[in-house]
Amino acid sequence: MRILSGIQPTGKPHLGNYFGMMKPALELQEQGEAYLFIANYHALTTIADPTELRDNTRDVALDFLACGLDPKKTAFYRQSDVPEVTELTWLLACLTPMGLLERCHSYKDKTARGLPASHGLFSYPVLMAADILAVQSNVVPVGRDQKQHIEVTRDLAIKFNNQYGEVFTIPEPSIRDESAAIPGLDGQKMSKSYNNTIEIFGAPKEMKKKIMRIVTDSKALEEVKDPDTCTIFALYRLLADAEAQAELAARYRAGGMGYGDAKKALLAAFEEHFGPLLERREQLRQDMDYVEDVLQDGARCARALAAVTLQRARQATGLE
């Protein structure tokens, strides 16, 4: 089973990103033949500063390697290092109905939020389809907001195969479980848009300040508290083992514990989990030649598949 996932280089990862996308992506290494790419072509729809794009792309590579990506198990690469994808995008674009793209809610949502209505933003699903089909992926893990784009990919692959012959594998979506949104500092869903995030690789002193400002109710020290409705405990549950969770939950329900103590417990769990990863990231940052080698090796692996796919598509369409 070949599994493909991608991530845009759009900024510093926070706990919501880590548990919602990064950790599940890393777990793919043990489930099949894994491919993970940094979607820097896609990022051009929102990032106009070339320095920002380069820096963000480098940072994503550091983040994933520090968090445990194993280059021996996952082909990890920059999207822009696989040029076959862009040629394949054109072949797919030539049989993509306008109405199919006009029905994509992502374009409408993004333009409603103020992003320029560019051709790139409009045709984003075609490039995404080329990413997936180029490596003949069987499974694509996505959030519910991206499910429609996988449906577009399937439609295009089926239409191409019907018109030109069997060239593409028809991928299946694997919908990530996002039923339990990870809360931010204010209790809302953790999001850069809400400015309520806890960055996994932020400066330790700054992350301590953020954790200590998590919003709570006004219950006094001696009052009984409910861990199931507390943002602090919701975050602690992500980081601590079952025994530690049960112990802290009991302290909540017994009374006599202030939220300050709960925040200290969360901080300790956060530092225990991400402290070693932060050290690993700094070591990797001092050896960018290694990071570049990983990305180039991953690109060679992806290109080997993409080149075969593209040749078949070119032959099928009469270009060769």
Q: What is the set of active-site residues?
A: 110, 189, 192
Closest CA to 186 of 127, 234, 142, 138: 234
In the chain, the DSSP E strands lie at 2-7, 33-38, 74-78, 139-142, 172-175
34-62 b/e with 16+ CB inside 10 Å = b? bbbbbbbbbbbbebeeeeebeebbbbbbb
The H or E element that residue 242 is part of is: helix 242-254
153 SS3 class: helix
With tokens 């919003």, the residue in question is 215
What burial class does residue 196 get, using C-beta atoms within 10 Å of its C-beta: 0-12 exposed, 13-18 middle, 19+ buried?
A: buried
Neighbouring C-beta atoms of residue 111, cutoff 10 Å: 14
